[in-house]
Amino acid sequence: MRIIAVGDIHMAPEHLDTIPEIREVDLVLLNGDLTNYGGIKEVRQVLNHAMELNPNILAHFGNLDKPEVNTYLEEVGINLHGQARLVNNSVCIVGIGGSNVTPFSTPSEFSEADIFTTAEAAYREGLDYVRLAEPLLNRKIPILLLSHTPPINTKLDTIRGGKHVGSTAIRNLIEKHQPALSIVGHIHEAKGQDTIINSPVINPGMLRDGGWVFIEVKNSELHTHLQ
């Protein structure tokens, strides 16, 4: 199974066109900030363009998307926020959208306690899916965490000036569960890779800057290429 993960589209979905193989992969993950303070009208524009390239999309909102974006994604059946999805019996994807509190009072921010409660419930749902499916399939199913906000105190949450602004809740979740892979975003200038204990974390950066991740699920392992 092949997946492309992108985030921080910010009303510029035309940059999806430059991603090799986006039409051929099995799944495209859109990791929040699909719009710039936009709602349903704006997110439709983004999704329409993305689905012309590949109809197999899962997504959630970011802090710069209005809460109605979350509702709309749920209505059209592609929402990942606070949910787990077992995809093609190959990978379980756990999603958490929005962000921790910022100084800018953006539309979709949450307390660290609320982030952890939502993410932990979604992760436990994913673990239940995996525990039921693995004996039937006779193989391991990896869990991929898709979080718009990055974990705190990594290479991936540092803004200009060196301050760490990531989420303690997401870090605690990763430390606790050690997903096979975490894809994060939100902090455009912190593109790169890091590891929490033994769990790899990738921030591809902003889409218009050429940021995306190619993921291949092979022999129950996730192999990645950060553009």
Domain boundaries defined on the chain: 2-226
Question: Residue 31: its pLDDT value, please?
Answer: 98
What pLDDT shows up at residue 197? Answer: 98
Q: Tell me, what's the pLDDT at 26?
A: 98
- CB-based burial label for 186 (10 Å; 0-12, 13-18, 19+): buried
3-class DSSP state of 112:
helix
Low-confidence ranges of the chain (pLDDT < 70): none
| 2-226 classified as CATH 3.60.21.10 | yes
Buried b (16+ CB within 10 A) or exposed e, 193-205: ebebeebbbbbbb
The pTM (predicted TM-score) of the whole model is 0.98
Burial (CB count <10 Å: 0-12, 13-18, 19+), residue 48? exposed
CA distance 170 to 176: 10
pLDDT at 227 (0 to 100): 84
Q: Is 17 exposed, middle or buried (0-12, 13-18, 19+ CB in 10 A)?
A: exposed
| CA–CA separation, 117 and 141 (whole Å) | 24
What is the distance in angstroms between the CA of the first residue and the CA of the last residue of the chain?
Answer: 19
